[in-house]
Amino acid sequence: KNTLFLQILRRLHQVQFRRRAKECFIFLVIVIILYYFLYKNEERSTYILQEDQVYFSINQEIKYLINTSQCKIPKSNPYSEDIIDFINKEQYDKCSTKTLLSYINKTNDIVTLHFNRSAQKEYSYFSIGCCYSNITRINYEKLVDDQIRLTDCIPFEDSVELKYPYVSVKCSTFFSVVYSNVHAVTFSISKKPKKPSGKPKFSIMMLGIDSVSKSNIERTMPESFKWAESNMINLKGYNKIGDNTFPNLMAILTGYNVDQLSKFCNRTVKLNSCKIIWDKFKESQYITGYAEDDCNINTFHYDRPGFLEEPTDYYYRPYFLAAETLHTVLRKNMIYCAGPETSGERIQNAAKDFAVTFKDVPSFGLFWSNSYSHDNINMPGAMDKKMLQLLSSTEFFEAINNTILIFFSDHGFRFGGIRFTHTGWVEERLPFIYFRFPDLFKHSYPEQYNNFITNTNRLTSPYDIYNTLQNILNIGNDSYVPSWSQGCPSCHSLFAEIPENRTCKDAGISKHWCTCQGHTYIKPNHPKVIEVSKFVVNETNNILLTTKGGSLCAKYSLNKVMTSGMSEPYWNEDHKYVHFFLVMLETSPKASFEATVEASFEERNRSFKLLGDISRIDRYGPVTECITDNGYLRKYCYCRNKI
């Protein structure tokens, strides 16, 4: 400021003051006006924050995942002091101490089910006989994706050739059933190729684990993390775009944003018409597959109607429905064991079988695990060694020689006490994601590969992954016209260099989910924080008032603010000088919410605006049971009859 006025005085001295007094006067008035707008607004904003109200600022972090002119994403310490009380080690537990009594053998195109007689004495000293049933979908339209049918159980001696991909096995003595299991088999199929383009087609293998952040895979799955860091490419600036699995995974699979998903992938209509990218791969003569465990919370079935026709060539849902009819063992409220095998290993085995079966033909596979990660932040550790065994196995590694492998998650952990910490806030928005490219791709497309490497240090989002998948289809077929993301028209394929000055808005990420802009933590009882928090509670109540079925839910009032933060001031699109506030609050009746609010406290023009969704960050299952058919409303509800 002093420098500016010295320059003014020098200017006044240089002119002939008497002859040009009028000019100087006008110049001085302009400077004073500029001073007022440039500095007075800044001073007006600083009254909000007093020194004794500051906790700490994430802008003071030394290390960043990415550090660009418009985006500085802090690198969280996986063992930060504010989360250490929530962290512990989880070990792998076998689902059975006995050797499996049945197994599958594949020789060329012949698939055989075997009775493992060498393990018979582990089950009974009496004679054991086994039979098998084929597992199929039922034919009733409404229930087609939720129920299965078993054929009559056909006895077999030592082995039998299979013709169906999913089978149930039961083995009994004269007195009782001693063994039950199900098996999935990927049969080799081929598609009539279109006119060859003369260019290689690269397969896609997507291995997903629900609710695992960048820091949490490092913390809970250190061996898998180390392998991925050494053998794959980390998108360090990858930021989620929505609350839960559906918007984040569907942004990858459809390119749609939340509003478009409501329109084109309506929760009341079967999802076959939802233009999922595996349809494009199927049209391009790829073999397609999709598997997901813990059927009740599947991406396409939790508060969604699923599919009428099987969406992919290999659709493993009937297999997992059958597995979950066996004896299940819950760990941390998740279906850890489905019969004598873990659900997680069933997914891994299906992924490996799919990759090996189609190693010589183009394929697209999505294999998604919920059963050891969705409900507990530490449970991924139980499957670390098993995941490493899959990733590093020679058979799998050779099978994906012509495959682009994507190892990833949808978001970090979303519920519980850890979410009320600064580290939990950051982690929840930053899922892990790694890519591995075949050597042939690197040599054939060096420019695209080098651009991808550059983009590992740029801000990226799920929409970019969708565009990259579109680009891969075009790389293998010049006649294919990519259909770029409608949800984020400014987003990129990762094979094109992303601008260094990219913002969250450019990447389709709302301020509520954006980790680029730092904020200073302030005391939750600050009057401005209370005012913002009451606005959030009122907005939550408005959702209940305006949503069908909301009358079943109680009205909220503010109980307390648990955590709060404030950004540096900035000019918004309406040319107002504003801050955004992050608040995590508790209501009465007891529920916990998080929101980001843009706030202006100018005396004559006070305004508040939600930046994105209001997030529910407590475990709300039992208190929302009055809402049975609307997941959106359930997220905000506290049933009156539960008070």
CB distance 173 to 126 below 8 Å = yes
298 part of a folded domain: yes
- Do residues 172 and 251 both lie within one domain? no
pLDDT tens profile 298-310:
999 988 889 999 9
- Percent of the chain scoring above 70 in pLDDT: 89
- 289-297 average pLDDT score: 97
pLDDT at 60: 47
pTM here is 0.89
CB distance 450 to 429 below 8 Å = no
How large is the angle between the packed helices 384-392 and 222-231, nearest 10 degrees? 30
* Domain edge (last residue) among 154, 184, 214: 184
pLDDT for 39 beyond 70: no
Q: Helix, strand, coil proportions of the chain in percent (round to 5)?
A: 35, 25, 45
Q: Pick the more confident residue, 473 or 189.
A: 473
pLDDT at 573: 81
Give the domain range for residue 118: 102-184
Q: Is 460 helix (H, G, I), strand (E, B) or coil?
A: strand
With residue 135 as reference, give the H or E element that holds it.
strand 129-137
We report the CATH number of the domain holding residue 630 as 3.10.450
- Do residues 291 and 403 both lie within one domain? yes
- 104-132 average pLDDT score: 95
| Nearest-angstrom CA–CA distance, 399 and 416 | 40
Helix (H), strand (E), coil (C) string for 10-79: HHHHHCCCCCCHHHHHHHHHHHHHHHHHHHHHHHHHHCCCCHHHEEEEHHHCCCEEEECCCCEEECCCCC
pLDDT at 14: 52
**Omega of the bond prior to 589 within 30 degrees of 0, cis?**
yes
pLDDT at 618: 93
pLDDT for 41 beyond 50: no
We report the CATH number of the domain holding residue 121 as 2.60.40
pLDDT tens profile 64-96:
999 999 999 999 999 999 999 999 999 999 999
Number of domains in the chain: 4
Buried b (16+ CB within 10 A) or exposed e, 599-630: bbbeeeeeebbbbbbbbbbbebeebbebbeeb
pLDDT at 521: 85
Tokens at residue 566, please? 């404030």
- Do residues 337 and 471 both lie within one domain? yes
- Do residues 178 and 37 both lie within one domain? no
- 108-117 average pLDDT score: 94
> Pairing mode, if any, of strands 403-408 and 203-209?
parallel
pLDDT for 38 beyond 90: no
529 part of a folded domain: yes
315 part of a folded domain: yes
pLDDT for 273 beyond 70: yes
pLDDT for 221 beyond 80: yes
pLDDT at 269: 86
- Do residues 227 and 285 both lie within one domain? yes
- 166-176 average pLDDT score: 97
Q: Where are the beta strands (DSSP E) in 210-265?
A: 233-234
pLDDT at 27: 58
- Do residues 322 and 451 both lie within one domain? yes
pLDDT for 7 beyond 60: no
pLDDT for 33 beyond 50: yes
- Percent of the chain scoring above 90 in pLDDT: 78
pLDDT at 397: 93
528 part of a folded domain: yes
Reference 291, options 243, 232, 375, 352; nearest CA is 352
| Nearest-angstrom CA–CA distance, 158 and 132 | 12
pLDDT at 15: 45
The answer to which of 1-10, 531-540, 568-577, 585-594 has the lowest mean pLDDT is: 1-10
The answer to which of 2-16, 146-160, 193-207, 533-547 has the lowest mean pLDDT is: 2-16
493 part of a folded domain: no
DSSP single-letter state for residue 295: G
- 194-222 average pLDDT score: 91
253 part of a folded domain: yes
**Whole-number Cα distances in Å, 284 to 61, 313, 464, 474, 496:** 47, 13, 21, 10, 23
pLDDT at 604: 76
The answer to which of 10-19, 357-366, 454-463, 518-527 has the lowest mean pLDDT is: 10-19
Tokens at residue 53, please? 């109200």
Helix (H), strand (E), coil (C) string for 318-372: HHHHHHCCCCEEEECCEEEEECCEEHHHHHHHHHHHHHHHCCCCCEEEEEEECCC
**Whole-number Cα distances in Å, 79 to 188, 192, 372, 423, 429:** 46, 53, 21, 9, 17
- Do residues 595 and 448 both lie within one domain? no
134 part of a folded domain: yes
pLDDT tens profile 337-384:
999 999 999 999 999 999 999 999 999 999 999 999 999 999 999 999
Reference 343, options 375, 313, 300, 303; nearest CA is 375
Reported as a pLDDT band with limits 50, 70 and 90, residue 22 is low
- Do residues 282 and 367 both lie within one domain? yes
> Pairing mode, if any, of strands 433-436 and 233-234?
antiparallel
End-to-end C-alpha distance for the chain, whole angstroms: 58
The answer to which of 19-23, 247-251, 289-293, 566-570 has the lowest mean pLDDT is: 19-23
66 part of a folded domain: no
The answer to which of 32-46, 462-476, 529-543 has the lowest mean pLDDT is: 32-46
pLDDT at 413: 97
| Nearest-angstrom CA–CA distance, 148 and 5 | 81
- 440-454 average pLDDT score: 98
- Do residues 153 and 266 both lie within one domain? no
pLDDT tens profile 129-149:
999 999 999 877 778 999 999
pLDDT for 564 beyond 50: yes
pLDDT at 28: 61
- Do residues 284 and 374 both lie within one domain? yes
pLDDT at 220: 98
- Do residues 285 and 398 both lie within one domain? yes
pLDDT at 59: 45
Alpha-carbon dihedral angle through residues 142, 144, 145, 150, given to the nearest 10 degrees: 140
CB distance 567 to 519 below 8 Å = yes
pLDDT at 21: 56
- Do residues 140 and 231 both lie within one domain? no
We report the CATH number of the domain holding residue 279 as 3.40.720.10
